[in-house]
Amino acid sequence: MAEPVVVVEQEFQYSSLFAQGQTAIAGMWLFLAQECLFFGGLILTWIYARYWNQAGFDAGSHGTVLWIGSVNTGVLVTSSFVYACALLFIQAGRSRLTAWALALVIALGCVFLMLKGYEWHLDFDSHNWVNDPDFPIKGELEGGAKLFWTFYWIGTVLHAAHMVAGIGLVAYVLRRAVRGDFTVAYHAPVEVVGIFWSFVDIVWMVLWPLIYLIGRMP
């Protein structure tokens, strides 16, 4: 079946469709530059708090669910790979394949969030909540462990919020792809949303060792 033929008109303020796309890509990178500083502040806080409470942080880290964090790492890397394939497909004019790949990205994003939700459920069951009177770590390590879990909750909730935003953006691009809005010549929205999606992946690549691995090292 032939791909639909569409004509995309550029916005009036740009000299060409190419310039319009390049501006959108640059805008996304500018947004991500400030996102780096947003998450950078959080990670600096973690470094500083851990420096003064290493034993407490390590004790807290042992309470995390390692298998879920690790499986989610694979899920996110795979979703970024599939999104890169979606971009490749639209550049080759295969809009149907693009739509299928985008749908798979959304499914992988939902798998990540479902696993994360299950992990949060386990964390609550284990009383790993700062205000919980049955917080499992007592004594001199309690303060450091509570700092760790504060970082854990802020970091993972902020990341999950970005995942939800990302899934919404991918769904928007999928809808437009199904409608046949993108061509070989113009598919900047696919590329721009892909950059954001991979950035959310990158944030997890940093959170994974900080939360699950470093504190568990023998």
Site residues, another protein (CB under 8 A): 22, 25-26, 28-30, 32-33, 36-37, 40-41, 43-44, 47-48, 51-52, 54, 70, 73-74, 77-78, 80-81, 83-85, 88-89, 91-92, 94, 191, 194-195, 198-199, 201-202, 205-206, 208-209, 213-214, 216-218
* CB neighbour burial string for 39-69, b if at least 16 within 10 angstroms, e if fewer: beebbeebeebbeebeebbbbbbebbbeebb
50 vs 116 by CB, closer to another protein? 50
Structure tokens given for 108: 């992988």
CB of 90 to another protein, least distance (A): 11
Distance, in Å, from the CA atom of 204 to the CA atom of 73, rounded to the nearest integer, reads 7
Q: Which residue's CB is nearer to another protein, number 135 or number 187?
A: 187
Query: In the numeric block, which tokens belong to residue 24?
Result: 């959108």
CA distances from 25 to 49, 59, 189, 192, 202 (A): 36, 43, 9, 5, 18
* Minimum separation from the CB atom of position 124 to another protein (A): 26
Least distance (Å) between residue 102 CB and another protein: 14
